[in-house]
Structure 1
């Protein structure tokens, strides 16, 4: 079994991704943005759009976000 990469340089592989900003954003640019990629969810810091992004499986992301509700 091949492990998935844990982060991908946004500037080289995620340029064509359609990033969505959190609806909880205050407009101060202190939130996260997400994009769907090949069955995974990429998450990046809105203050550093050219920086790395973390990749999550749908199940992992659902578990992570459920912990905060």
Structure 2
């Protein structure tokens, strides 16, 4: 069963032009989606993979 994501957030550094990604949590899963297409596909990562992604981006 796919996780259900409801409380989507985007970065506080977003300038409001819809050119960013949003994330949401569901248990130990993190959903990532394009804010231009909120009904589109969601990339789902386990929490450790999300942590590794964030670390790599810094």
| TM-score interval, smaller chain | 0.7 to 0.9
Q: Does 1:30 align with 2:3?
A: no
Which structure is richer in relative contact order (CA contacts within 8 A, separation 6 or more)? Answer: 1
Unaligned runs of 5+ in 1: none
The normalised TM-score by structure 2 is 0.84
The normalised TM-score by structure 1 is 0.72
* Structure 1 residue runs of 4 or more that deviate by more than 6 Å after TM superposition: none
Q: Using the alignment, how far apart are the partners of 2:52 and 2:13 within structure 1? A: 19
- Structure of greater Rg: 1
SS at match of 2:6: coil
Number of residues paired by the alignment?
Answer: 58
Unaligned runs of 5+ in 2: none
